[in-house]
Amino acid sequence: MHTSPRARWRNYLLYFGAGSLLLPAAVAGFNYLVDPYLIHQWDTAQVQRLRPTREKLAAWGKTYAVARFQPAVVYLGNSRTELGLPTRTPMFAGQSVFNSALSGASIGDAIALARHANAVSQLRVVVWGIDPPSFSMEVGNTDLNGELIADGPFYLARRGLINARRALSVDMTRDSIRLLTGSFGEVCHSSLLFHGQRDDACIDLRIGGWGGTAPAILPRTREYIRGAGPTPEAYLAFGNSVSALCRSGAQLRLYINPTHAMMLDALYWAGKWTALETWQGWLANTAAEQRAKGCDLRVFDFSGYNSITTEAIPQASQRKDMVHYWETSHYRSNVGAMILARMFGGKDQPLPDDFGVELTPQALPFHLASLRSGRNRYHREHALETSLARAVAAEQARLKLSAAKSD
């Protein structure tokens, strides 16, 4: 039986069209089921598997997990909070806790994540780590985009469609195959296994990639002082976000991250000290204004020059590792436990008397004076760290001048 040319063309187009639809559907289905980046997992077998040290699409995984878990206690911030603030803590025994902080997050990213958590869960407590350089609305975590943030009902249904669309990608297909063949880099656990906190094993391996703690000191310091904050836009946006959380009835604890004293010193040599003091004054006043309206809001400063932040760096101590820090930018979980104990009154956690000062309008003048005197003492007693911080600031100034001339 002969088929007419028209019928053959019709059949060809039919098969071609069906194949064009089935192949993408098969790829999307394959990637969705394997889910190498854990973009739609919570309390599943996939979360238990070992992963590479770098978490791809962590913003996708964390926003989905928050919507599924609906925690009562949420942490916000950047990688310092993500690495350092433990979710398994007696401070919140019996409560659901999730560390929603993201690596590289600006204050704008944290604001978006606060809005997301508030939309999908009934928040009781919000713990928010902040820093002066990242207190800006500039691009931070590039994986976080607006469609991942809940803005109404049916978020999980809408999110399913977004996840399916993301599954249609070459990189995800490649990594799905690598995961199934055992070549994906199975070395440490996803942060989802620890309710959002990064696995210490991942960080240890990343530090090893730097060549150890000592080689990471200067790059991390350069990275820190490059931030544009605090900026006027961030003041406004952050104030609005805090007000919204207060209206929801959540208890708020804001804290300035205890980056190593060398980082604060680099800000001083970079000419950013006045901006730092202005920022701290604004935080103290904002907290006081919200408390006057009935909000349970307090703000603490764990940075500065205290017995934790002035720990000698390996270049000065000749030791391989530090007790309280991974490097100058990121503190360890033992410090995070002290932070929580100071803010929430933990009685079983030993705390240095000089670690953690509540910022209030009344206490601010004395606190700022103490910061200045601590800075001067640090310069006298930590000559090596001071010289390194000063060199990093001078290098940054030269780079800015060179960039300005080239423009």
How many helices and strands (H and E) does the chain possess?
Answer: 16, 8
Lay out the sheet containing 357-358: strands in order across: 97-99, 73-76, 125-130, 251-256, 297-301, 357-358
Residues with Cβ within 8 Å of residue 271, at least 6 apart in sequence: 393
User: In whole angstroms, what is the distance from residue 196 CA to residue 192 CA?
Assistant: 5
Largest Cα separation within the chain, whole Å, is: 99
In the predicted model, is pLDDT for residue 13 greater than 60?
no
Q: Model pTM? A: 0.93
Let me know: does 193 contact 47? Beta carbons within 8 Å. Answer: yes
Rounded to the nearest integer, the mean pLDDT of the chain is: 92
Reported confidence tier of residue 7, pLDDT bands at 50, 70, 90: low
Over residues 356-385, mean pLDDT: 97
**What is the number of other CB atoms lying within 10 angstroms of the CB of residue 202?**
21
150-195 pLDDT tens trace? 988 899 999 999 999 999 889 999 999 999 998 998 899 999 999 9
Contact 107, 130 (CB under 8 A): yes
pLDDT digits (tens, 9 = 90+) for 26-82: 888 888 999 999 999 999 999 999 989 989 999 999 999 999 999 999 999 999 999
Distance of alpha carbon 131 from alpha carbon 255, whole angstroms: 9
Burial 232-251 (b: 16+ CB within 10 A, else e): eebbebbeebbbebbebebb
Residue-level pLDDT at 246: 97
pLDDT of residue 18: 46
Per-residue pLDDT tens over the stretch 189-242: 999 999 999 999 999 998 988 899 999 999 999 999 999 999 999 999 999 999
**Per-residue pLDDT at 199:** 95
